[in-house]
Amino acid sequence: MISLEKPSHPLKGDVFVPGDKSISHRSIMFGALAEGTTEITGFLESADCLSTIDCFKKLGIIIDHTVKPTNGVPKITVHGRGLHGLKASASTLYTGNSGTTTRLMSGILVAQPFDSNITGDSSIEKRPMSRIIKPLSQMGADISSVMGNDCAPLHIGGGCKLRGINYRNPIASAQVKSAILLAGLYADGETVVYEPALSRNHSEIMLASFGADVHNEIARDGSAAAILHPGMPLHGIKINVPGDISSAAYFIAAALMVPGSELLIRNVGVNKTRSGILTVLKQMGADITLLNMNESGEPRADILVKYSELHGNQNNKFEIGGKDIPTMIDELPMVAVLAATANCDTIIKDAAELKVKESDRIATVVENLTAMGADIEATDDGMIIHGGKPLHGADINTHNDHRLAMCFAIAALSADGITRILDDACVGISYPTFFTDLQRLL
């Protein structure tokens, strides 16, 4: 348990957040399928990404962890075995709390000549897998939920011939899109995934730099398409993972909430499919500037944030929905906390996906913000926050959800009295050094 309260001074200085979780997972998986070695710096060594490493080691991939003697920088080397080099795992592949590992790895395993079994922790065993079972089955895969409840454990039968499909996903989900594209690497023809809005496109960017023939397009009806043609071998590359904008979001919020603060968050990934939080907060009056922008590959920048009073539009309302939602899906709990401190009503809509994350984030955010004195109501596809009521300290039930633990640690910085984060250890899922990095500023 960790106790936090309002700091006695503004937050000032530079912050370095750890590597991007989505990009780190993909660097291991795609490196495993490539010929030759892939060298990764900036890799996120959190429980989720270590689950991916563990699974690919079980699939016969050698993965080394070294520290460069010249500069002390940790480096992960993946000794890829090519698209057809994986070996059957002797035991069930355990993905811990990681939806990305479970879903993307399934897309790879359906194309292998051997059978596989996959499961994860109690949260993973409740998360919907029909969203990958349906399209992968359409491609000819043999994948099923062992308990028949559309959740993990999953059984995957090997030796299936896959066909390319045109798949219209009703929701924007990078995990679903990536699982289909990865299976598409082994299919007999073109694979196209359409989404109502472009979800994070790290798979497309990274697969293309490994040599795959894949790109994004806006379709005639306005939907976002990812198009992959199989047949190209993947070749090992060097990857430098930028800082994770989902982790930077906690420090952005902290600077916006504590009067007089000014933080410079260094080397953060600002891919447009991930940086919706910056656009939305700027519209609410946040003083945020991007410095040292580098657009090659995955765009990255330093983010300068200064304390700001957030507000709505003329009617003192602010609405967040539509195509902005997939670009900030993991940051919505933090945005809800910020909205509770803003002098306006904020409506978050089109975000029903929050219900099927590591916890039901509509219910768990509303529960904990209510405990802190906020005026907030849950809706079917989001929440309505009547901002401006002063927050007070409370005991936070994280439901073992890493993002809840971190966003309520930040909420504590603008609340009267003491806030206790119960089960704080779950931050290890995406950001093991979060509390030490935060304490340094307090």
**Shorter beta-carbon distance to ligand S3P: residue 79 or 323:** 323
DSSP states along 140-190: T-EEEETTSSSSSSEEEES-PPP---EEE-SS--HHHHHHHHHHHTTSSS-
Q: How far apart are CA 405 and CA 313, in angstroms?
A: 30
Length of the chain: 442
Going from the C-alpha of 198 to that of each of 202, 204, 229, 274, 427, the distances in angstroms are 11, 11, 19, 10, 28
Specify which residues 255 forms β-bridges with: none
Q: How far is the CB of 6 from ligand S3P (least distance, A)?
A: 30
Per the listing, tokens 């007070």 go with 392
Q: How far apart are CA 189 and CA 152, in angstroms?
A: 29
Of 35-43, 50-58, 175-183, 394-402, the segment contacting ligand S3P by CB under 6 A is 175-183
Q: How far is the CB of 196 from ligand S3P (least distance, A)?
A: 12
Using CB under 6 A as the binding rule, whether residue 173 contacts ligand S3P is answered as yes
Pick one of 18, 22, 241, 276: the residue that binds ligand S3P (CB under 6 A): 22
Site string for ligand S3P, 338-377 (x = CB under 6 A): ---------------x------------------------
99 is in an annotated binding site: yes
Specify which residues 66 forms β-bridges with: 75
Q: How far apart are CA 123 and CA 100, in angstroms?
A: 13
Of 87-95, 170-178, 299-307, 419-427, the segment contacting ligand S3P by CB under 6 A is 170-178
SS3 227: strand
Q: How far is the CB of 105 from ligand S3P (least distance, A)?
A: 12
Pick one of 95, 97, 123, 175: the residue that binds ligand S3P (CB under 6 A): 175
Amino acid at residue number 151: C
Of 138-146, 172-180, 249-257, 418-426, the segment contacting ligand S3P by CB under 6 A is 172-180
Catalytic site includes residue 330: yes
**Shorter beta-carbon distance to ligand S3P: residue 204 or 353:** 353
Q: How far is the CB of 22 from ligand S3P (least distance, A)?
A: 3
Q: How far apart are CA 403 and CA 396, in angstroms?
A: 12
**Within 34-145, where are the H helices?**
47-58, 99-109, 130-138
Q: How far apart are CA 34 and CA 41, in angstroms?
A: 17
Q: How far is the CB of 69 from ligand S3P (least distance, A)?
A: 32
Question: Cβ neighbours of residue 281 under 8 Å, at least 6 residues apart?
Answer: 252, 256, 288, 310, 335, 338
Using CB under 6 A as the binding rule, whether residue 327 contacts ligand S3P is answered as no
Using CB under 6 A as the binding rule, whether residue 329 contacts ligand S3P is answered as yes
Site string for ligand S3P, 192-231 (x = CB under 6 A): --------x-------------------------------
φ/ψ of residue 204, rounded to 5: -65, -45
Using CB under 6 A as the binding rule, whether residue 334 contacts ligand S3P is answered as no
**Within 258-372, where are the H helices?**
276-283, 332-341, 361-371
Q: How many residues bind ligand S3P (CB under 6 A)?
A: 11
Using CB under 6 A as the binding rule, whether residue 98 contacts ligand S3P is answered as no
Q: Give the CB-side neighbour count of residue 248, counting CA atoms within 13 A.
A: 31
Q: How far apart are CA 278 and CA 426, in angstroms?
A: 26
**Shorter beta-carbon distance to ligand S3P: residue 22 or 414:** 22
Using CB under 6 A as the binding rule, whether residue 331 contacts ligand S3P is answered as no
Using CB under 6 A as the binding rule, whether residue 169 contacts ligand S3P is answered as no
Of 174-182, 235-243, 262-270, 308-316, the segment contacting ligand S3P by CB under 6 A is 174-182
Q: How far is the CB of 383 from ligand S3P (least distance, A)?
A: 17
Q: How far is the CB of 175 from ligand S3P (least distance, A)?
A: 3
| Token pair listed for 173 | 């989900």
Q: List strands edge to edge, sheet with 93-94.
A: 93-94, 116-119, 154-157, 142-145
Using CB under 6 A as the binding rule, whether residue 174 contacts ligand S3P is answered as yes
Specify which residues 94 forms β-bridges with: 119
Catalytic residue among 48, 244, 330, 424: 330
| Token pair listed for 1 | 């348990």
Of 35-43, 159-167, 173-181, 417-425, the segment contacting ligand S3P by CB under 6 A is 173-181
Contact between 187 and 139 under an 8 Å Cβ cutoff? The reply is yes
26 is in an annotated binding site: yes
Using CB under 6 A as the binding rule, whether residue 151 contacts ligand S3P is answered as no
SS3 382: strand
Annotated binding site for 3-phosphoshikimate: 21-22, 26, 173, 175, 330, 357
Residues tagged active-site: 330
Which parts of this chain interact with ligand S3P (CB under 6 A)?
22, 100, 173-176, 178, 200, 329-330, 353
Annotated binding site: 21-22, 26, 99, 127, 173, 175, 330, 357, 361, 403
